[in-house]
């Protein structure tokens, strides 16, 4: 099982789309709300160099934004034809 982490904010459309994608594909993930958790916000910026969300890690692979094809590939999900 891959380790999946998402750094997000509650009102971010792309964050919510990513979490919905995870739910639809039964992907377990750890969510970090960087709107409230300043320590996790700093960690996200340090790890990714990004200030925008979502920032997603699949194991050690960084994905910025809701990049469905990249997430599908990294998670080893079947591509819907």
In tens, the pLDDT along 4-62 reads: 999 999 999 999 999 999 999 999 999 999 999 999 999 999 999 999 999 999 999 99
The pLDDT value recorded for residue 78 is: 80
CATH class (in words) of the domain with range 4-75: alpha beta
Q: Which two tokens stand for residue 43?
A: 């960690």
Q: How confident is the model at residue 81 (pLDDT cuts 50, 70, 90)?
A: very low
The pLDDT value recorded for residue 20 is: 98
The pLDDT value recorded for residue 80 is: 61
In the chain, domain spans = 4-75
């Amino acid at each position: 099982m891959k380790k999946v982490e998402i750094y997000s904010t509650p009102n971010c459309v792309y964050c919510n789309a990513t979490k919905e994608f995870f739910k639809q594909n039964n992907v377990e993930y750890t969510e970090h709300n960087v709107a409230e958790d300043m320590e996790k916000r700093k960690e996200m910026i340090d790890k990714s160099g990004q200030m925008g969300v979502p920032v997603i890690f699949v194991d050690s692979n960084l994905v910025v934004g809701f990049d469905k094809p990249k997430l599908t590939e990294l998670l080893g999900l079947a591509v819907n034809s």
